[in-house]
């Protein structure tokens, strides 16, 4: 065993082996993998080996596509047979709602180059005669699906890595991990010790336990999963004989099952509603190549539907039932990347679809370890997308929900109920009493809209029960004054004598003078957007930075990794230690002026001013800015003052008809201002010029801020894309995100977000298109629920084009 290695990967499942292979592929050969038993001794060995490119997040879908395309490469390079069967596949819809959903999946895949297409139930039957066409409405055909041999595939990664110089130690269990003051790791195994620069936790079923070795509680839980294998089926043999082909994969969403051919019979698996976590607290170390007891009772309901949808199964004998555990994160996507607060400790776990995602995870992680950046937009699977709220019990509730809904439709306006309410602010009950319908963001209950008595959300792809009310909320802001809670934003305090200089390095924008705010993007070395913030200078050695709530850990990881060594600046995530309210609309100033003797006029307290003052008896930080794009204020306070302030503002606003509004109205308001938002318009995929944020970059400031060289290059060359806004001739539904944008009949771009801009009375979409056609007003179309709708590019915001209202 080596005494030193650059990287030690813990775990020889498909994921660990893929990480190892990719490290060596990119030139790092001084790397080892440590496996407590044989390769594939976790969930990998009993996987059904199915793979596909579909994922709700297009960025993860791209990595899945990469994984599927990689198989031929590793098979050829290693010489190891991986039992690849590219059978193609069908996704089946048994209801019109499901067919709508499949159409949206298909549309999303278009700009990713997905080659799938729609089929009628009859056409699907012709391709896959085992299905009963009368049970289905339609299907999507995807040529890029198939299955492989999990054992062969894992060994192909391992052999390829070994060929490139990696070493693999079997029957070697990592028992302890200790980080030394110089940042290197002591990887203590039952066979000796290795000193490593980097440690990768790819321990699959034991990822939680390996996390605990370094004091981490990773949000990951294993679930039992069952599939059955039939005896030989004459229908299968006959199909193979007459066509010379294998039967294709099918995912029957409404039956909650998947099937594929296995030898001369079939395999049928299900994500059962009556799901069961496995080893919810601790995974036993002596678990290995055994299966869990079969429990057909639990999947009877799903099997009955399956047998009805695929009648040939009724006559088939069951040869074997497999019940095995595999791991999930709360939202079902992997947990990948560097763990915040630790140096060189990497996560590659909770990969629930190792054969669809393992290659992409290995690629992204190897890039990240070697280059400091995953090279793709991997936020959807970043280990930092969960905060402290993702405890063991939270994870248990969310994973069970996610597993049991694996094949369920999630409507765009649907909020899932598990593990709620968890985080609430002091005015939660007040808002609830006022009719608030809540969503969650980073665990926090956040009002979406305020439902009048008797009305509730009706989940749909189309405009729904909230449409009129959200419209009323949005219009109330534009014509009078509205109040919303803003506690869900991330708030950071940056303090110290070096705070200003540090911010100047880390942020690409100008540092505002005392008492002023500015909008500023944050870039990575490649000049791509990794954040957009409002920066407030409270007093040269104390700054308040406001950003996206869901990215708090993601941003803190970046900040902490870049803090000055001399301690001259420090950063704190204030979390719910600072909560917020926002008052917006032409009457906003009148409301606030009633609560302070200080002059809030446009000259005394102009747009982008910020100061500490009292409103009534409550000390607050008041900023003259609003994401609604109107005259407006953000008010930040300690939580103990929030109820008082809420009541005070509602009382002071009564004479102006103050109206509570939620996130849905805010979305409508920011769309008519063409304001982008983090994780939608602003992501590490785009440069600032592309995103229309060039005016917020201080290209000529003396500081060599991170990403400056790349940003200057982008400025000189112009960037390939442009973020643009469209109005859409929508009917009864509005775009949400990821729909394809056509120009002159060809897919040329994609929607990042959209909705109905109620105050302007028109449907709006924002999205990216190639720069060379971004000046074209006409010739655009957007696909929505299978319909191609005319769209018109809006070069200027629909509301308050010159910002006069905002600055008034």
Ligand X SMILES: Cc1cc2nc3c(=O)[nH]c(=O)nc-3n(C[C@H](O)[C@H](O)[C@H](O)COP(=O)(O)OP(=O)(O)OC[C@H]3O[C@@H](n4cnc5c(N)ncnc54)[C@H](O)[C@@H]3O)c2cc1C
Max Cα distance, the chain (Å): 88
Give the pairing type, strands 192-201 and 345-349: parallel
Q: How far is the CB of 513 from ligand X (least distance, A)?
A: 51
CA angle 346, 208, 446 (to 5 degrees): 85
Q: Is 455 helix (H, G, I), strand (E, B) or coil?
A: coil
- 226 vs 609, beta carbon nearer ligand X: 226
- 270 vs 575, beta carbon nearer ligand X: 270
Among 15, 476, 517, 671, binds ligand X (CB under 6 A): 15
Q: Does 55 bind ligand X (CB under 6 A)?
A: no
Query: 603: exposed, middle or buried (C-beta count within 10 Å: 0-12, 13-18, 19+)?
Result: exposed
Q: Are 204 and 288 in contact (CB under 8 A)?
A: no
- 168 vs 490, beta carbon nearer ligand X: 168
Among 355, 376, 386, 799, binds ligand X (CB under 6 A): 355
Candidates 351-359, 368-376, 415-423, 622-630; binding stretch for ligand X (CB under 6 A): 351-359
Q: How far is the CB of 294 from ligand X (least distance, A)?
A: 11
Q: Does 299 bind ligand X (CB under 6 A)?
A: no
Candidates 46-54, 366-374, 515-523, 747-755; binding stretch for ligand X (CB under 6 A): 46-54
Among 7, 20, 51, 669, binds ligand X (CB under 6 A): 51
Q: Does 146 bind ligand X (CB under 6 A)?
A: no
Among 44, 520, 674, 760, binds ligand X (CB under 6 A): 44
Q: How far is the CB of 591 from ligand X (least distance, A)?
A: 54
Neighbouring residues of 238: CB distance < 8 A, sequence distance ≥ 6:
none
- 175 vs 429, beta carbon nearer ligand X: 175
If you count DSSP H runs as helices and E runs as strands, how many of each does the chain have, helices first? 19, 38
Q: Does 413 bind ligand X (CB under 6 A)?
A: no
Give the pairing type, strands 746-757 and 517-523: unpaired
Query: 601: exposed, middle or buried (C-beta count within 10 Å: 0-12, 13-18, 19+)?
Result: exposed
- Each residue 318-337 as x (binds ligand X by CB under 6 A) or -, in order, gives ----x-xxx-----------
Q: Is 512 helix (H, G, I), strand (E, B) or coil?
A: coil
- The span from the CA of 397 to the CA of 402, in Å, is 9
- The span from the CA of 502 to the CA of 497, in Å, is 10
Q: How far is the CB of 520 from ligand X (least distance, A)?
A: 38
Neighbouring residues of 651: CB distance < 8 A, sequence distance ≥ 6:
none
- Each residue 217-256 as x (binds ligand X by CB under 6 A) or -, in order, gives --------x-x-----------------------------
Q: Does 157 bind ligand X (CB under 6 A)?
A: no
Neighbouring residues of 54: CB distance < 8 A, sequence distance ≥ 6:
61, 64, 91, 105, 109, 114, 142
- 326 vs 742, beta carbon nearer ligand X: 326
- The span from the CA of 438 to the CA of 474, in Å, is 17
Among 5, 7, 8, 13, binds ligand X (CB under 6 A): 13
Candidates 6-14, 627-635, 690-698, 734-742; binding stretch for ligand X (CB under 6 A): 6-14
- The span from the CA of 375 to the CA of 364, in Å, is 7
Q: How far is the CB of 189 from ligand X (least distance, A)?
A: 7
Strand partners, 767: 724, 751
Q: Which two tokens stand for residue 242?
A: 């007459």
Q: How far is CA 538 from CA 238, 445, 517, 556, in A?
A: 77, 29, 9, 20
- 295 vs 388, beta carbon nearer ligand X: 295
Angle between helix axes 58-78 and 96-110 (nearest 10 degrees) is 70
Q: Does 351 bind ligand X (CB under 6 A)?
A: yes
Q: Does 352 bind ligand X (CB under 6 A)?
A: yes
Q: How far is the CB of 366 from ligand X (least distance, A)?
A: 15
Q: How far is the CB of 307 from ligand X (least distance, A)?
A: 20
Among 31, 50, 265, 581, binds ligand X (CB under 6 A): 50
Q: Does 270 bind ligand X (CB under 6 A)?
A: no
Ordered DSSP codes for 270-332: E--SS--EESSS---TT--SPPPPP-GGGGHHHHHHHHHHSGGGGGPPEEEEEEEEEEE-TTS
Q: Are 622 and 405 in contact (CB under 8 A)?
A: no
Q: Which two tokens stand for residue 684?
A: 């590490």
- 14 vs 584, beta carbon nearer ligand X: 14
**What residues numbered 165-194 form the site for ligand X, per CB under 6 A?**
173-174
Q: Does 762 bind ligand X (CB under 6 A)?
A: no
Q: Does 202 bind ligand X (CB under 6 A)?
A: yes
- 294 vs 541, beta carbon nearer ligand X: 294
Q: Does 487 bind ligand X (CB under 6 A)?
A: no
Q: Does 34 bind ligand X (CB under 6 A)?
A: yes
Q: Does 116 bind ligand X (CB under 6 A)?
A: no
Q: Which residues bind ligand X (CB under 6 A)?
A: 10-16, 34-37, 41-44, 46-51, 173-174, 202-206, 210, 225, 227, 322, 324-326, 349, 351-356
């Amino acid at each position: 065993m080596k005494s030193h290695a650059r990287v030690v990967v813990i775990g020889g499942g498909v994921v660990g082996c893929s990480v190892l292979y990719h490290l060596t592929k990119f030139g790092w050969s001084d790397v080892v993998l440590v496996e407590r038993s044989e390769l594939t001794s976790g969930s990998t060995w009993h996987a059904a080996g199915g793979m596909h490119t579909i994922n709700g997040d297009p960025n993860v879908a791209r990595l899945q596509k990469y994984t599927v395309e990689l198989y031929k490469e590793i098979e050829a390079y290693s010489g190891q047979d991986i039992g690849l069967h590219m059978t193609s596949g069908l996704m089946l819809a048994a209801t019109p709602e499901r067919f709508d959903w499949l159409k949206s999946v298909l549309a999303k895949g278009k700009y990713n180059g997905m080659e799938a297409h729609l089929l009628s139930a009859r056409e699907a039957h012709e391709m896959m005669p085992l299905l009963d066409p009368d049970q289905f409405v339609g299907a999507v055909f995807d040529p890029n699906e198939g299955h492989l041999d999990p054992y062969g595939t894992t060994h192909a990664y391992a052999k390829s890595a070994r060929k490139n110089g990696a070493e693999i130690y079997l029957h070697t269990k990592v028992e302890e991990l200790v980080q030394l003051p110089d940042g290197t790791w002591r990887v203590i195994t039952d066979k000796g010790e290795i000193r490593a620069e980097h440690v990768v936790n790819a321990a699959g079923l034991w990822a939680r336990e390996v996390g605990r070795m370094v004091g981490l509680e990773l949000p990951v839980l294993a679930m039992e999963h069952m599939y059955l294998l039939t005896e030989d089926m004459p229908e299968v043999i006959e199909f193979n004989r007459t066509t010379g082909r294998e039967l294709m994969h099918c995912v029957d969403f409404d039956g909650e099952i998947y099937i594929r051919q296995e030898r001369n019979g079939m395999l049928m698996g299900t994500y059962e509603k009556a799901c069961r976590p496995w080893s919810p607290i601790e995974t036993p170390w002596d678990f290995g190549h055994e299966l869990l007891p079969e429990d057909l009772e639990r999947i009877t309901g799903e099997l009955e539907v399956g047998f009805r949808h695929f009648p040939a199964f009724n006559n088939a004998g069951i040869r074997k039932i497999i019940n095995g555990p595999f791991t999930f994160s709360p939202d079902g996507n992997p947990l990948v990347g560097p763990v915040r607060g630790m140096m060189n400790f990497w996560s590659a776990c909770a990969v629930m679809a190792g054969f669809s995602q393992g290659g992409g995870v290995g690629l992204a992680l190897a890039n990240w370890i070697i280059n400091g950046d995953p090279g793709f937009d991997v936020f959807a699977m970043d280990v930092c997308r969960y905060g402290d709220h993702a405890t063991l019990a939270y994870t248990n509730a969310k994973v069970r929900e996610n597993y049991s809904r694996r094949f369920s439709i999630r409507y765009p306006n649907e909020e899932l109920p598990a593990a709620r309410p968890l985080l609430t602010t002091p005015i939660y009950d007040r808002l609830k009493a006022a009719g608030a319908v809540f969503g969650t963001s980073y665990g926090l209950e956040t009002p979406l809209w305020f439902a009048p008595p008797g009305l509730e959300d009706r989940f749909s792809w189309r405009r729904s029960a909230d449409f009129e009310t959200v419209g009323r909320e949005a219009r109330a802001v534009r014509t009078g004054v509205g109040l919303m809670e803003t506690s869900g934003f991330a708030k950071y305090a940056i303090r110290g004598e070096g705070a200003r200089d540090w911010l100047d390095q880390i942020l690409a924008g100008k540092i505002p003078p005392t008492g002023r705010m500015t909008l500023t993007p944050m870039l990575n070395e490649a000049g791509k957007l990794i954040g957009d913030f409002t920066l407030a200078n409270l007093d040269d050695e104390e700054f308040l930075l406001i950003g996206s709530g869901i990215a708090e850990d993601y941003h803190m990881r970046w900040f902490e990794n870049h803090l000055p060594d001399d301690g001259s600046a420090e950063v704190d995530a204030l979390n719910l230690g600072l909560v917020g309210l926002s008052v917006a609309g032409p009457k906003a100033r009148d409301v606030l002026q009633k609560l302070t003797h200080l002059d809030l006029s446009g000259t005394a307290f102009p747009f982008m001013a910020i100061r500490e003052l009292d409103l009534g008896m409550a000390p607050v930080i008041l900023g003259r800015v609003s994401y609604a794009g109107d005259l407006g204020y953000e008010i930040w306070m300690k939580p103990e003052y929030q109820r008082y302030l809420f009541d005070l503002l509602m009382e002071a606003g009564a004479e102006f008809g103050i109206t509570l509004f939620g996130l849905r109205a805010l979305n409508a308001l920011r769309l008519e201002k063409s304001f982008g938002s983090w994780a939608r318009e602003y992501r590490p995929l785009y440069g600032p010029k592309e995103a229309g944020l060039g005016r917020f970059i201080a290209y000529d400031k003396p500081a060599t801020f991170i990403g400056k060289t790349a940003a200057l290059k982008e400025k000189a060359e112009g960037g390939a894309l442009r973020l643009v806004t469209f109005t859409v001739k929508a009917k009864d539904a509005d775009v949400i995100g990821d729909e394809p944008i056509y120009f002159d009949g060809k897919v040329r771009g994609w929607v990042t977000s959209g909705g109905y801009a109620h105050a302007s009375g028109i449907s709006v979409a924002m999205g990216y298109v190639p720069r060379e056609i971004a000046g074209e007003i006409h010739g655009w179309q957007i696909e929505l629920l299978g319909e191609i709708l005319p769209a018109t590019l809006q070069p200027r915001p629909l509301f308050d084009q010159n910002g006069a209202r905002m600055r008034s």
